[in-house]
């Protein structure tokens, strides 16, 4: 039961990015810049944003932050997004989610310039992924693919199940697995007998957003299990999978915390670097 160590893989990726950032800065006279728009005072979002800026510093990137109050109107947020779109010093940026309830996250995504979409969530970038010609890809699915690659697992011809169909994880995850030559089934809240699907799969990516919903009976012996979920409980952090019950039954598994989570910021930086390179090549 090899546990997939997302922290160590993320560190390797960040070192590669740091080397590429140094080369970019030497050639172009400046490092890439990541922008973040944060609306409101959600504690988890504040932590995520701090981590993003700290990691930018570690790899030699610069960062720019716009902090808006909880009461920010639709028009005020749109003005901030358009300012980021037009800021020539910013290569890629994101609007930190979740937004306050009076703001529509889907609408806000449509305002983001796809050529600066560090999260890979705009309709245009999702469409390019569907077409098999991605500009940038949603960070969490991209990180999952990096973890699978790191353990040397060949997806060709494998049966894969993705549990969840969100545009942030499930949908792009299914596309990436398909493009890696896996045969993919997408399951969701309306799927009948979920375990009938998961226990036949060689690879299961669980992104359902329900704490410890799947145990040993849901997976076949030797399967590769990627747990995208993260939940705060009285017992601490946990994922969508019952890790302790499953870990000695499967072939590979990601822990929570320390699995997929560390990869997300690493992929955000990779996307920003890619957008910087594309931007200067225009």
**Domain-located, residue 241:** yes
Same domain assignment for residues 204 and 167: yes
Has residue 263 got a pLDDT over 60? yes
**Domain-located, residue 8:** no
Has residue 50 got a pLDDT over 80? yes
Partners of residue 117 on adjacent β-strands: 93
Number of domains in the chain: 2
Q: Which of 117, 119, 202, 227 is catalytic?
A: 119
> What are the DSSP calls for 8-37, one per residue?
HHHHHHHHHHHHHHHHHHHHHSS--EEEEE
What pLDDT, in 10s, does the model give residues 149-163?
999 999 999 999 999
Partners of residue 33 on adjacent β-strands: 62
**Domain-located, residue 95:** yes
pLDDT of amino acid 44? 84
Same domain assignment for residues 84 and 145: no
**Domain-located, residue 20:** no
**Domain-located, residue 273:** no
Give the domain CATH number at 64: 3.40.50.10860
Q: Which of 14, 20, 91, 96 is catalytic?
A: 96
Q: Round the average pLDDT of the chain to a whole number and report it.
A: 96
**Domain-located, residue 269:** no
Has residue 282 got a pLDDT over 70? no
pLDDT of amino acid 1? 58
pLDDT of amino acid 239? 96
pLDDT of amino acid 143? 98
Has residue 258 got a pLDDT over 80? yes
Residue 217: asked if its preceding bond is cis (omega within 30°), the reply is no
Same domain assignment for residues 145 and 241: yes
Q: Which of 14, 52, 158, 242 is catalytic?
A: 52
% pLDDT > 70, the chain: 99
pLDDT of amino acid 46? 87
Length of the chain: 282
pLDDT of amino acid 197? 98
Cα(51)–Cα(57) distance, rounded to whole angstroms? 10
% pLDDT > 90, the chain: 93
What pLDDT, in 10s, does the model give residues 2-35?
999 999 999 999 999 999 999 999 999 999 999 9
**104 flagged as catalytic:** no
Cα(276)–Cα(59) distance, rounded to whole angstroms? 14
What pLDDT, in 10s, does the model give residues 100-122?
999 999 999 999 999 999 999 99
Mean pLDDT confidence for 250-256: 97
Tokens found for residue 233: 């409980």
The angle at the Cα of 41, spanning 37 to 44, to the nearest 5 degrees, equals 85
**119 flagged as catalytic:** yes
Enclosing domain of residue 67: 29-113
Give the domain CATH number at 240: 3.40.50.720
pLDDT of amino acid 185? 98
Mean pLDDT confidence for 233-254: 95
pLDDT band at residue 42, thresholds of 50, 70 and 90?
Answer: confident
Has residue 66 got a pLDDT over 80? yes
pLDDT of amino acid 47? 87
Name the phi and psi angles at 34, rounded to 5. Answer: -105, 130
Could you tell me which residues come within 8 angstroms of residue 52 by beta carbon, excluding any fewer than 6 positions away?
Answer: 34, 36, 63, 265, 268
**116 flagged as catalytic:** no
Mean pLDDT confidence for 240-262: 97
């Amino acid at each position: 039961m090899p546990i997939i160590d997302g922290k160590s893989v993320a560190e390797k990726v960040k070192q590669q990015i740091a080397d590429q950032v140094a080369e970019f800065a030497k050639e172009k006279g400046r490092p890439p810049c990541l922008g973040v728009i944060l609306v409101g005072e959600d504690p988890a979002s504040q932590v995520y944003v701090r981590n993003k800026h700290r990691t930018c510093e570690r790899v030699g990137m610069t960062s720019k932050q716009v902090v808006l109050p909880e009461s920010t109107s639709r028009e005020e947020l749109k003005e901030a997004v358009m300012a980021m779109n037009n800021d020539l010093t910013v290569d890629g940026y994101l609007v930190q989610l979740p937004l306050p309830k009076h703001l529509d996250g889907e609408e806000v995504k449509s305002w983001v310039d796809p050529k600066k979409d560090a999260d890979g969530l705009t309709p245009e970038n999702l469409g390019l992924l569907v077409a098999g010609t991605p500009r940038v890809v949603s960070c969490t699915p991209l990180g999952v693919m990096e973890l699978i690659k790191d353990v040397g697992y060949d997806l060709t011809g494998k049966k894969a199940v993705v549990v969840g169909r969100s545009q942030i994880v499930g949908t792009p995850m299914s596309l990436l697995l398909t493009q890696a030559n896996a045969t993919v089934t997408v399951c969701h809240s309306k799927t009948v007998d979920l375990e009938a699907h998961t226990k036949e799969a060689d690879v299961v990516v669980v992104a359902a957003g329900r704490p410890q919903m799947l145990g040993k009976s849901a997976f076949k012996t030797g399967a590769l299990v990627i747990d995208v979920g993260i939940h705060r409980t009285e017992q601490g952090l946990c994922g969508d999978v019952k890790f302790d019950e499953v870990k000695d039954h499967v072939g590979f598994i990601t822990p929570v915390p320390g699995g997929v989570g560390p990869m997300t910021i690493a992929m955000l930086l990779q996307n920003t670097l890619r957008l910087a390179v594309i931007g200067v090549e225009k």
